[in-house]
Structure 1
Amino acid sequence: MKKIVTLGEIMLRFSTNAGERLQQTNTLSMHYGGAEANVAVSLAHFGYQTYFVSKVPNNPLGRAVERHLKSHGVHTDYLVKGGERLGSYYVESGVGERSAQVIYDRKYSSFSNLKSEELNFEEIFNGAHLFHVSGITLALSAELRKLTLQALKFAKEKGITTSFDFNYRAKLWSQQEAAEAIKPLLPYVDICSCGELDAIHLLGIEETDPSLSKEERLCYYYGKIQEMYPNIQYMCSTFRKVISASENTLQGNLYLDGELYQSKVHHISQIVDRIGGGDAFMAGVLYGILEKLPSNQLISFAAAASALKHTVHGDCNLFSTDEVLSFAENAPGKIVR
């Protein structure tokens, strides 16, 4: 069984019921989640030996996080205990044309104060096949930016496949701050999730002709990124069209060896919970790469995993490999040359 390591913050999420605003509600739903933790949960459901590296307070909330992870088969051997608080965030659910709103309450969290000396990289990466992290971790502190770079370098020295999701969040930091933190990491990345806006605003790539199709533009930006960072083998993203808060279309993109592979367009007409959809897609891409799936099948699997995530509450995707494959059988991929 392949060992997967992810590094990031897990938080307590509070969500309103549909049709209620935060200032009026008397009840909130609770879920645990975070980008890298969600990827770990998905990959555990896909049958991998996943380990989540983080720091949580040594109190009932920290113990609840540990229970949550273990309940999904994620190993918590590298979950550091300490600090004073678990980060949290609030979601005001969207309805119709009104979008969902997120409010973060994560400053001074246990994870944001994690130091590299609290982690034993030799032990953490021993026998690992893949390491995944996202830009959200970089946004939380200067120390975490140093730690993430150190972890990626260490993983590459050990011959471990590395994965990075830009996951830019404007509420956490500026584009300039993100660009300065992300660029030094990319020479150590094998698999990268990013899109057109990331290429323009975070990597400083000159905009191409806006009259081109979105597929042609994406190929242009991915080609430019590979010129800058030839070590990046795979790039992925999704095209999402928001019709309403409860109705979206979703299509997966995979760029490999100069070609763009796409899934079918999923029409998700009754969204239960959109949060975590991108993490489910990322986990699907990683599964396809780890299993050496043909590119068309890989991107169809990833998009199907994301579409399925939209049908369940909470941050985590709870579907097995067989369930995603069964769903994806009716979702053949196509290649755009």
Structure 2
Amino acid sequence: MSRVLTLGEIMLRLSTSKDSRISESKQFQVHYGGGEANVAIGLANFNHSVSFASRVPNNSLGLAVNRHLQHFGVLTHLLLLGGNRLGSYYLENGVGERASSVIYDRTSSSFAEMNVLEWSMDDLFEGVELFHVSGITPAISDSWAMMTLQLMKEAKKRKVKISFDINYRAKLWKYSKAKKVLSTLLPWVNYCSAGKLDAVHLLGIEEQSKDQDDPTYYYEQMNKIYPNIEVFYSTLREIKSASEHTLIGTIWNNNMLYTSRKHFISPIVDRVGGGDAFSAGILHGLLTKQNFDYTVSFATAASALKHTIYGDCNQFSIEEIEEFMNRKEQRILR
């Protein structure tokens, strides 16, 4: 399988039970996660050799992060030790008509405080075929916006493919700042996770009122601006309640749109990481040179399954996902 590098911040996640508010909770469930780390775990589950680069404190929480990643088969030799604290976030789980909400506590974290790249670029990219990063990383600080661009240039210099998930987070930066930074990053990208809202609000593409469920127009317009991007992909999600969604995956290449079947997800155990599971599925299909119908069907099935387990990351194998994506009816597997 392929050699992949992902880079970003991994955090301590503290979650309420579904019947509790953060302000009233006396206990929280603990997990570790972050966009790029979740993609790393997904790809490791798909038998790829995946390294995760980040910076964590040299204490018990940093050790827990290392063990979490290694438990799922991710290589951690690029996990730096330094700084004083691990970033964290609080998740208030929604239910019914009450949506989930997040409070970040990541200011001055070990990762956020980095202002120079502390890795040897030769060590970082040795043997790597694909580099994956998300828009969360350049949103953390001006330094990380600059360093993300530097990493992309280093990857391109070494003929490494670049995967980028725009992953806009309104609590981290405003549209105006994101637009400016993305305009410097997207010219270096090969594969991009971006949907209609990204196209309209971040790339300035005029919104179309017709065919709301067909993203073809937006993919075509984004490709005109950034012809270097070979593949665009995203999901179409209908939210009936916090506990019940439908999900369709889409992928676009060479003026062709491919879609998955519609998945009905109810009840949702944990939505966090569903997009990362989808990205990992798409990248797995691209790395193994599967056809686009298989790739989008596999990725969407991986995302749907992720919604059924607690935690940030996918925990399903290729065989389990393929069985699920091809299943015609629900039955006990004996």
Quote the Cα distance in structure 1 between the aligned partners of 2:286 and 2:162.
12
For 1:231 and 1:116, the matched residues in 2 are separated by: 28
Q: Does the 8 Å contact 2:237/2:248 carry over to 1?
A: yes
1:125 aligned partner? 125
Distance in 2 of aligned mates of 1:245 and 1:117: 39
Which residue number corresponds to residue 280 of structure 2?
283
Residue 28 of structure 1 corresponds to which residue in structure 2? 28
Distance 1:199 1:173 in 2: 17
Instruction: Give runs of aligned pairs for residues 6-155 of structure 1, distance below 5 A.
Output: 6-155=6-155
Partner of 1:238, secondary structure, is strand
Question: What is the one-letter code of the residue matched to 2:273?
Answer: G
Aligned to 1:316: 313
Cα contact 2:260–2:297 (8 A) shared by 1: yes
Distance 1:326 1:120 in 2: 41
- State the match for 1:267 in structure 2: 264
Alpha-carbon contact 2:247-2:262 (below 8 Å) kept: yes
Task: Determine the C-alpha separation between the residues in 2 that align with 1:37 and 1:116.
Answer: 21
Alpha-carbon distance, 1:128 to partner:
0.4
What is the count of residue pairs matched by the alignment? Answer: 328
Distance 2:232 2:117 in 1: 32
**Structure 2: segments with no counterpart, 5+ residues:** 329-334
Match in the other structure for 1:224: 221
Residue 206 of structure 2 corresponds to 206
TM-score, normalised with respect to structure 2: 0.96
Deviation at 1:30, TM superposition (A): 0.3
Question: Residue type matched to 1:330 in 2?
Answer: R
**Which residue is 2:331 aligned to?**
none
Measured after TM superposition, the shift of residue 24 of structure 1 is 1.2
Q: How far has the Cα of 1:161 moved from its partner?
A: 1.1
1:298 alignment counterpart: 295
After the TM superposition, list the runs of 4 or more consecutive aligned residues in structure 1 that deviate by more than 4 angstroms.
none
Secondary structure at 1:248 match in 2:
strand
Equivalent-residue separation in structure 2 for 1:124 and 1:89 (angstroms): 28
Deviations 1:200-245 (A, max 9, x none): 111111223x033421xx1111111111111100000000011111
How many angstroms apart in 2 are the aligned matches of 1:221 and 1:304? 24
Q: CA deviation at 1:269?
A: 1.0
Q: Which amino acid aligns with 1:147?
A: M
One-letter code aligned to 1:155: A
CA distance in 1, matches of 2:213, 2:320: 30
Q: Residue type matched to 2:197 in 1? A: L
**1:71 Cα shift?**
0.7
Q: Is the 8 A contact 2:246 2:263 kept in 1?
A: yes
Task: Tell me, yes or no, if the aligned pair for 2:117 and 2:147 is still in contact at 8 Å.
Answer: no
| Alignment match, 1:334 | none
Partner amino acid, structure 1, of 2:217: Y
Closer, same or farther: CA 213–197 of 1 in aligned 2, 3 Å: closer
CA distance in structure 2 between the aligned counterparts of 1:276 and 1:212, rounded to whole angstroms: 28
| TM-score of the superposed pair, with normalisation by structure 1 | 0.96
Deviation at 1:132, TM superposition (A): 0.2
Structure 2 distance, partners of 1:48, 1:202, is 32
In structure 2, what residue type is equivalent to 1:312?
I
1:254 partnered with 2:251: yes
SS in 2 for 1:264: coil
- AA paired with 1:59? N
Q: How does 1:144-223 map to 2 (within 5 A)?
A: 144-208=144-208, 210-215=209-214, 218-223=215-220
State the shift of 1:270 in Å. 1.2
2:34 is matched by which residue type in structure 1?
G
2-side partners of 1:319 and 1:299: how far apart? 16
Deviates more, 1:34-43 or 1:179-188: 179-188
Letter in 2 for 1:242: I
User: Using the alignment, how far apart are the partners of 2:211 and 2:269 within structure 1?
Assistant: 34
C-alpha distance in structure 2 between counterparts of 1:98 and 1:213, whole Å: 25
Q: Which string of whole-angstrom CA distances, capped at 9 and with x for unpartnered residues, describes residues 163-221 of structure 1?
A: 0000001011101111111111111100000111111111111223x033421xx1111
DSSP-derived class of the 2:239 partner: strand
- 2:239 aligned partner, one-letter code: V
Which runs of no fewer than 5 residues in structure 1 stay unpaired?
332-337
Could you tell me how far apart the structure 1 residues matched to 2:23 and 2:226 are? 46
